[in-house]
Structure 1
Amino acid sequence: MTDYGRPLQFGMFPTPDADRVDEILDLVAMADDEGLDLVGIQDHPYQKRFLDTWSLMAVVLARTTRVRVFPDVACLPLRPPAVMAKAAASLDVISGGRFELALGAGAFWPAIGGMGGPECTPGEAASALSEAVEVIRLMWSDEKSVRYEGVHHRLSGAHPGPRPAHDIGLWLGVGGPRMLGLLGREADGWVPSVSYFPPPVLPGLHARIDESAMAAGRDPAAIQRIYNVFGAITDGPSSGFLNGPFEQWVDELTELVLESGMDTFVFGAEGDDPFQHQKWAVEVVPAVREAVADRRG
């Protein structure tokens, strides 16, 4: 059993389709109205049908008042970390502290290369991500001038600022042992997706994060565990994990908290079905909160 005792958070994962802007903004307005905590937006600049994630996040923050927004996860190879740090801090200041930053090492390397980015090996991508975490922290610091000399990223007398409006969560969407070790030492949160990291593998990955955190003198419970989940809330019988009636969703999400260590769930529905998102926000989320509170109590 792995329950870190953290407060629960819930969000949505709208697809940034360029031909569905009004529908996206309706969804995030509903998330804001219904009290969801987060909106996560995937970042694939090479996908021709997608809006630019950072432009969309700015609009989402402008159209909402309380929900927090984050890239799920930012494509580091196409976004220099010093500039991304400034963009993140700017969005946080403009929104009054409602921006978080999740980073990915990169994927779909031929597409990244086609846009002028580096086509990295796994080791190179991991090193670049590790350096980026340090660069971003420096760019959020109170220092007048910062320097950094890495293999992939460099700063030479850069001037940090503006300061974020709050301590932005720096989350990593990673899965390898080396990067999970970095996460345990340096990051504020972990953002896996159920499609890549199903529940049976979670305990071993938590163990690697926790081992690294404790070796660095950190409390593993200080690290947020954000799970991107996908499926369908139906009126019929179960057809698999997170595909079935409301009661199944409540049971399975509750077990993910109490047995699998996750504390935050970001839901993506097929076709961004607004009825699915409404069921998620209005029915599933409060029921999971209640079930976990009862079991913990």
Structure 2
Amino acid sequence: MPFPVLFGVNIDPTWHDPLLPARLSQHAEQLGFDLITVQDHPYQPAFFDTWTLITHLAAQTSTVSFVPTVANLPLRPPAMLAKAVASLDILSSGRIQLGLGAGGFWEAIVAMGGPRRTPKEAVDALSEAIDVIHAMWSTERSVRYTGEHYQLQGVHPGPAPTDQPGIWLGAYGPRMLKLLGEKADGWMPSHAYLPADQLPAALARIRTAAEAAGRSPDDLRLIYNIGGIIGSDPATPFRGSVSQWTDQLVRLTADVGMNGYVFWPERDHGAQAEIFAQEVIPRVRNEVA
């Protein structure tokens, strides 16, 4: 297995209790989670700005990594996003990965001053954005880029990240999966939108695109976002006992090839995170070692 299996937990960027995200992040770090994800919906009035919050949380922790899941590209120009990621990469000693998405909820995006894009335009813009971000992370004296959606006109990039963060896409459709295989470093689908039995077919598209582009699909991070509850009800996936959770994650790792999981507790965040960290993760690690 080219990668160790990563385990994370999601923390919502709600501001009703301004100190809650930091408390949950510190708790997650104490429990030994590898990463924390924070969803990015700038138009959601109940949410902090995700990038500001991640920066704050990184300053409140020392070992856990952070991933926006996924950064809203239509409202975050890629050159500025690249500079923000590189800056936090340096300031946090490399504890940042860039989850990136093409956008959705277009009415809300337009209401906030962003563009309205067709599905084709959204994927094209994401492809351009990846090129722009890589250019902004280079050590070149100046860079130029001419695209339909984004341009760079002799900008001087910097700072360069200490260890170039991965670009992990929230991708589902055929064109997005193909783009991921060609240009990105990881995949972050969610169980709510892509059930586990559909992962192999989607992953096959990614692998085919990576190989056609001369890349090794084994170099991709494959992170599955899973909402659910650890309890005693075995009726549906990811709502059962510790043993059931363990069996499901071991099968996804061994049979499908996923190499990371982010738990989105549906309630009782602290207690559920503890069960996942103390009972599920050690069993999965032992089974797939």
What TM-score, normalized to structure 2? Answer: 0.98
Structure-1 residue corresponding to 2:152? 155
Write the distance in 1 (CA, Å) between the matches of 2:3 and 2:96. Answer: 20
Q: Is the 8 A contact 1:38 1:67 kept in 2?
A: yes
- Residue 259 (structure 1) aligned to one of 252, 255, 259: 255
Name the structure 1 match of 2:211: 214
Segments of structure 1 that go 5 or more residues without pairing to the other structure are none
Which structure 2 residues correspond to residues 45-60 of structure 1 after superposition, within 5 A?
45-60=42-57
Give, in whole Å, the separation in 2 of the partners of 1:69 and 1:274. Answer: 18
8 Å CA contact retained: 1:15, 1:272: no
Distance 1:259 1:166, change over 3 A: same
Partner of residue 289 from structure 1, selected from 279, 285, 289: 285
Does the Cα contact within 8 Å between 1:34 and 1:282 map onto a contact in 2? yes
Q: Percent identity?
A: 49
CA contact (8 A) 2:137 2:164 kept: no
The one-letter code of the counterpart of 1:134 is D
The separation in 2 between residues aligned to 1:248 and 1:216, in whole angstroms, is 38
- Distance (Å, rounded) in 2 between the aligned partners of 1:191 and 1:287: 23
CA distance, structure 1, for counterparts of residue 47 and residue 267 of structure 2: 14
Q: Does 1:279 align with 2:275?
A: yes
Query: In 2, are the aligned partners of 1:140 and 1:164 still within 8 Å (CA)?
Result: yes
Q: Which of 241, 244, 251 in structure 2 is aligned with 1:245?
A: 241
Matched residues, number: 289
- Which of 112, 117, 120 aligns to 1:120? It is 117
Q: CA shift at 1:22, angstroms?
A: 2.2
Instruction: Tell me, in whole angstroms, the C-alpha distance in 2 between the residues paired with 1:5 and 1:139.
Output: 28
Q: State whether residues 2 and 219 of structure 2, in contact with CA within 8 Å, keep that contact through their aligned partners in structure 1.
A: no
Whether the 8 Å CA contact 1:11–1:267 is kept in 2: the answer is yes
Question: RCO greater where, 1 or 2, for CA within 8 Å and sep 6 or more?
Answer: 1
Give 1:30's aligned residue: 27
CA shift, 1:218, in A, is 1.4
Q: TM-score, normalised by structure 1?
A: 0.95
Runs of 5+ in structure 2 lacking a partner?
none
What is the root-mean-square deviation of aligned Cα atoms in Å?
1.1
The 3-state SS of whatever aligns with 2:180 is: helix
Q: Structure 1 residue 177: deviation in Å?
A: 1.3
Q: Give how far 1:5 is off.
A: 5.1
* 1:76 paired to 2:83: no
4+ runs deviating over 6 angstroms: none
Q: How far does the alpha carbon of each residue in 1:248-286 deviate from its partner, in whole angstroms, 9 at most, with x for none?
A: 100011111111221100111114621001111111111
| Residues 1:99 and 2:96 are matched in the alignment | yes
